[in-house]
Chains A and B, each alone.
Chain A
Amino acid sequence: MTAKKSEAAAEEDKIIDTKRKSGSVKSQKQKPAAKEAKSVEKEVKSLKEEDLLLESGTDSEYDGDGDSLSLNSDDFDSDFYDSEDDGSQRETENGDEVHGHDGSDGNVDDDDESEQVDSENGEEDGSEEGFEQDEAVEESDSSEDEVAPRNTIGDVPIKWYDDEKHIGYDITGKKITKKEKQDKLDSFLATMDDSKNWRKIYDDYNDEEVELTKEESKLIRRMLKGEAPHADFDPYAPYVDWFDWKKESIHPLSGAPEPKRRFIPSKWEAKKVVKYVRAIRNGTIKFDKPEEEPNYYLLWGDDSASDLRGKNLNFVPPPKVKLPGHEESYNPSPEFIPTAEEKAAYELMYEEDRPKFIPKMYTSLRSIPAYENALKESFERCLDLYLCPRVRKKRINIDPESLKPKLPSRKDLRPYPNSCYLEYRGHTGPVTSLSTERSGQWIASGSMDKSVRIWEVETGRCLKVWEFDEVVTCVAWNPLSDFSILAVAMGRDLVLLNTELGTDEEQKKIEDLLNVKDLPELVPSVAKIVTWRQDEKHGGVKITHFKTITYIDWHSKGDYLSTVMASGETRGVVVHQLTKRDTQKLPLKIRGLPVRTLFHPTQRGIFLIATKKNIRVYDLRKREGPIKKLETGLREISSMAIHPGGDNLIVGSKEGKMCWFDLDLSSRPYKTLKNHPKDITNVAFHRSYPLFASCSEDSTAYVFHGKVFNDMNENPLIVPLEILRGHSSSKGQGVLDCKFHPRQPWLFTAGADSIIKLYCH
């Protein structure tokens, strides 16, 4: 029953529709769609199949539509609009339907509407599109679309024209006059005699009678039966499984063709958009949000509890820029402006040491040009700020004088030699070596004029002269006071001279010591090195070595005498013993050329050998390597002297440095003094006074106060006292030797100017 009713409605609908040719294709499509929806509600599925069947023809146009939709928003909108208003159209239609049918249907419809809006529901969509499509089908084969509509009154209730003579207007605007009603009888007769009369339906819109064709009536009949309206549609078509795994499809996705909905705008989306549009129109939505104002506020409102600086590690504030001086003024006082030649000089300078800023003078303020380096300088400042490592430097703005250590005043350290009163003249060549007699009454000197002289200290009188035939390199007085033997080294010979200064019995002793009638038989290894011989000419002993002797040193007991030769290995140093008339090689190997040797003044058998670089301390009684090695940081050692106490050593070097070693403190220098610009030729300790001296090729001699304390934990006190000048340098040589007077605080210096000077306190 309901079915019939609905069908009737549908029928009527359709008819109306088909008669009235309204503009848009779509609108035409939809009405039967609605009918379809009602009629074929039950088998959704079949419907689906159907529209799937029917789809193919219409694809193209939809595609285009879909594109435009997805792309630009404008036609999106427009399209939305007409979809919108035919949506409303449909609503009105439904409205009619509601009028037409009972509420239940209307309800259904409402549901549909609502569902359509809120959720994308496959069925609903499907159905909707469904009828659109089959309309299209209908469209395609309905013939009467081509016929122009006759009545143009549009969609108004026809009953308005009931009491009119015309029922509307044709396209040209002429009234369409009604046919005059024929009375019942005639109509009846017409029906009677006309067999096809039952097919005739009165169309009051166009006010004419329409005769249904056969197939039309068939269709109607089918519909009445509730079958599919089309004859050739079979509802039970075999199910096509688009999504089969049997076939060689590797993709899990379905090969199903794109569903339609992908191409048509979604209504709910459109609704949202329209909401926005409205909002925009109302101005509730703004596109460019306003330029936000930089808001400033009281940043340092409370300076309390600000320990942020504490968090990151020590912050070094950037140094301030140096404030400008007078010279930067635009109008400096004239003395600040460099003269022309100075400017020229600047030009000649290198880029970096050229002054950064050259003062200029402008007579008036307005004549000052723009400073060309302004940007550059600020840029450099920036670079400094973020690229330069900042370090806190302690600024010492003190008088540099205050850096000088407080030396104990020299007055307190007296006596020390400071002025020269006596000169010992007589040598004709540079004086190479000095030696003081123990009592301090005489000194001996050897010179390049091949002579050795003995001088009386107090008067400066030359007592004795020995002439040799070789340059005297070294003289050394026997340390014993009652044993006045002078050892003279010249070339390869070492001559022991009798100075005949002692008393008679001493003389006797010396003489029989010095005449060696029976030459000592030496160990063959030693014999290769030295030979003893009697020296008749000078009445002494001559010991000839295999190499030139560079230095000789007496043992403090006066019996042993060590000579240094310019030779490495074991043969560089030999020790002679006077009483036994014997010569021994050292039982040890020397690395490098020996320069100086020293017998330790106090400890027995301790023997120091200085090679070019460093100093080794040997113990002659045990026969092994050095018991101590002193690293002097020096390039070439030239001389050394040991403190009479025996535990302090000074070393002079060819680069003019002097090292003080504390032997039992460490093997490194306790103090290094760079006092001479040229080679140090000799260093000397005083035997009793706390004095030491160094003399150098720069023809000066330094006198130092060097006090050694008894307790170990007090460092020696070293104070430079005096620079002794007076010698004149001859051919690059200055002072060649210096010795202290054994008892007085006096210093003897032997100059290359062939003078020996005595500096007294």
Chain B
Amino acid sequence: MPKHYRPAGKKKEGNAARYMTRSQALKSLQVNLNLFRRLCIVKGIFPREPKKKVKGNHHTYYHVKDIAFLQHEPLLEKFREIKTYQKKVLKAKSKKNEELARLLLTRQPTYKLDRLIRERYPTFPDALRDLDDCLTMVHLFAVLPASDREKLEVKRVHNCRRLSHEWQAYVSRTHSLRKVFVSVKGIYYQAEVEGQKITWLTPHAIQQVFTNDVDFSVLLTFLEFYETLLAFTNFKLYHSLNVKYPPILDSRLEALAADLYALSRYIDASSRGMTVEPKVDSSSSSQSNDREESELRLAQLQHQLPSSEPGALMHLVADNNEEVEEDEETRACKSLFKDLKFFLSREVPRESLLFVLPAFGGMVSWEGEGAPFKEDDECITHHIIDKPSAGHMYLSREYVQPQWIYDSVNARIILPTEKYLVGRIPPPHLSPFVDNEAEGYVPDYAETIKRLQAAARNEVLPLPGVGAGDLEDPQNLLYAGVMSRTEEAEAARNKKKMATLEKQYHEELKMEITGTSADDLPVEEEGEEGEEEDPEAAIKQVANDEDTRSKLSMSNKKRKLYEAMKMGLEKKNEGVKLIEERKRKLKKAQQ
């Protein structure tokens, strides 16, 4: 009888009872696959990996509890309703009764996801933890062209855009942006919100192209959920800043695709609250006249100056009452670009820089109207330019390439700009997410940056040798095993040396006795040379034997694991080796 034989009366047990395949789940839920998918996506139900796959390996298994969880989801009913309603509409359409169809479409049943969000993310940190994908997707869709073929309406794109900007505004306002990395795929940002590291990818601001090998319905379902999630998250965050959500935006700025800027302004204004109202005129009076009109627009919008205003009193006020909850990293980030004014020329990615620079306390303006200050402002310190050569150069400012900003942001220090000046090939842009020590390969530029950092640290807070000390220990630990090996080799070599010396001694003696003069010494020398590498080989042999010995006495499982790990390490080292090899080649090429 088969192993999984079950007498008639007996209930199922074990994996057979605990897991069901997808088709079973569909049957029990009485939904079709699409609906099931949507449910799973929205409810965050994922297949499980049973210990023993009762139905076979090629099935996907869901836990029975999960399915029951879906079963009791009110959304399921809602979806059914929608389905039937769709049928109605279809009928009307097919009857050419456009009137009715329109009528019905206006009265479609809708559903809300907020309960689900609360259910999936009981606490806010949970939501933040899962925000990575959400942000990435929303940012992606914010730059997608709306297309009715994919049923992607303009509304949604705009919504995505709005949400992403709201998020960015929050991040830059709270200076919680930590790392930026410009990659080929787009720009990675990493922010730290409520102790959660949140990383997201924004594509480069070029029209994305549709690839036809993706199933948009899935994407849109995700997007739907993500939009809601992000909206609620933003709400919570804004609320924590005492800002009303959704924000009312300066329409004009929005029109200029600078709505991020508008947002940040808005936030600053409303988070400052009434206390700073009186200061408006004082600070505005200190402004140069080119911003008057923006000023009064702000005035009529009850808006305030951007927080990154040099010498604005309210800045101090704000800081004073913020100091308490800010950790020193935030403070570092906040004051990185302090007292620096940046001007972005047309070709640089404005979106990103408008986001990054304020986030690190910089003050930005850009080319085109709506800008807070014009290009010919004297107190601009850095002019971000991405052209091979700048047209008219002001002597008072430095013309740097945008990468300078990203690099110094990642390094947390203001890097020397000469490498990044206009027209030069900037130094390599390194990923801030890599732990070089762990990776085993440290690019040169990382080294230089580290040195600069050390220098900066020392001048700021006199802690001698912070950088050096902690680096050594792991390596020591790492190479402990190696050391012993080398010692062994050393001992063997000494032994070898003694032996040769002894041999030589006897040769001498014999010679002396026989009375021959010292001529044939070189012969022995080379003889010794011949035997030199012998001990190394022996050592290797010994090591191998050790290895095999210990492997022998391992249990089978352990041995497999061990070999796997070895293989992994091997692969990693190979990668590093390859890179170093290339480097060597390049060096050779240069010389």
Contacts and interface: CB of A to CB of B under 8 A. Distances in A.
B452 interface: no
Given A365-B348, A366-B348, A385-B222, A403 B554 contact: yes
Nearest to A403: B562
A215 interface: no
Nearest to B140: A378
B207 interface: yes
Nearest to A313: B65
A407 interface: yes
A300 B127 contact: yes
Interface of B: 37, 40-41, 45-49, 60-61, 63, 65-66, 69, 106-107, 110, 114, 117-119, 121-124, 126-127, 129-130, 132-133, 136-137, 140, 144, 181-186, 188, 199, 203-204, 206-211, 213-215, 218-219, 222, 231-232, 234-236, 239, 245-246, 347-349, 386, 388, 401-403, 425-426, 428-431, 433-434, 439, 443-445, 481, 545, 548-554, 558, 561-562, 565-566, 569, 579-580, 582-583, 585-586
A400 B562 contact: yes
B496 to A, nearest CB: 17
Contacts of B428: 326, 329, 331-334
B208 A673 contact: no
A311 to B, nearest CB: 8
Contacts of B245: 296
A335 B133 contact: no
9 contacts: A321-B136, A325-B431, A329-B181, A368-B204, A374-B208, A379-B219, A389-B48, A391-B49, A719-B553
A330 B60 CA distance: 39
A323 to B, nearest CB: 4
A403 B545 contact: no
Contacts of B184: 328-330, 357, 359-360, 362, 368, 371
B280 to A, nearest CB: 29
A362 B61 CA distance: 45
Contacts of A370: 203-204, 206-209
Contacts of A325: 431, 433-434, 439
Given A306-B122, A366-B348, A389-B47, A403 B561 contact: yes
Nearest to B238: A296
Contacts of A377: 185
Nearest to B582: A335
A378 B132 CA distance: 12
A365 B433 contact: no
A316 B443 CA distance: 36
Contacts of A667: none
Interface stretch (A63-71, A720-728, A746-754): A720-728
A671 to B, nearest CB: 9
A381 B130 CA distance: 13
A300 B580 contact: no
B402 to A, nearest CB: 5
B244 to A, nearest CB: 11
Interface in A534-552: none
B553 A382 contact: no
Interface in A370-428: 370-379, 381-383, 385-391, 396, 399-401, 403-405, 407
B206 to A, nearest CB: 4
B583 A329 contact: no
Nearest to B150: A375
Contacts of B107: 289
B182 A330 contact: yes
A303 interface: yes
Interface string A287-303: 01100101011111001
Contacts of B554: 403-405
A307 interface: yes
A213 interface: no
A363 interface: yes
A621 to B, nearest CB: 39
B186 A331 contact: no
B160 to A, nearest CB: 12
A294 B111 CA distance: 11
B49 A329 contact: no
B553 A720 contact: yes
The 4 closest A-B CB pairs, nearest first, are A306-B122, A333-B428, A323-B433, A335-B583
B430 to A, nearest CB: 5
A312 B562 contact: no
Contacts of A23: none
A515 to B, nearest CB: 50
B429 A332 contact: yes
A718 B553 contact: yes
Given A383-B218, A720-B549, A316 B46 contact: yes
Contacts of B562: 400, 403-404
Interface string A696-736: 00000010000000000000001111110000000000000
B46 A385 contact: yes
A407 B222 contact: no
Q: How large is the interface on A (under 10, 10 to 19, 20 to 34, 35 or more residues)?
A: 35 or more
Interface string A339-376: 10000000000000000010110111110111111111
Interface of A: 288-289, 292, 294, 296-300, 303, 306-309, 311-313, 316-318, 320-321, 323-326, 328-339, 357, 359-360, 362-366, 368-379, 381-383, 385-391, 396, 399-401, 403-405, 407, 673-675, 702, 718-723
Nearest to A405: B553
A321 B132 contact: yes
A333 B582 CA distance: 11
Nearest to B443: A333
A389 B443 contact: no
B186 A374 contact: yes
Contact of B545 (A306, A373, A388, A722): A722
Contacts of A329: 181-184, 428-431
Contacts of B199: 320-321, 323
Contacts of B347: 366
Nearest to B123: A303
A299 B215 contact: no
Contacts of B222: 382, 385
Contact of B481 (A300, A316, A401): A401
A107 B215 CA distance: 76
A759 B222 CA distance: 72
Given A325-B434, A326-B443, A334-B583, 11 more contacts: A296-B234, A333-B443, A338-B582, A365-B402, A371-B184, A375-B211, A379-B214, A381-B133, A387-B47, A388-B47, A404-B554
A10 B128 CA distance: 89
Given A375-B214, A388-B47, A334 B129 contact: no
B212 to A, nearest CB: 10
Given A329-B428, A375-B214, A378-B140, A334 B586 contact: yes
Given A303-B122, A324-B433, A378-B136, A330 B214 contact: no
Given A306-B123, A378-B140, A389-B46, A326 B431 contact: yes
Contacts of B140: 374-375, 378
Contact of B586 (A335, A366, A405): A335
Contacts of B123: 300, 303, 306
Nearest to B388: A364
Contacts of A317: 129-130
B437 to A, nearest CB: 14
Contacts of B215: 379
A385 B558 contact: no
B211 A376 contact: yes
A367 to B, nearest CB: 9
Nearest to B590: A334
Contacts of A400: 562, 565-566, 569
Given A296-B231, A376-B213, A335 B580 contact: yes
A302 B40 CA distance: 27
A396 B428 CA distance: 34
Nearest to B406: A365
A323 B122 CA distance: 27
A374 B124 CA distance: 29
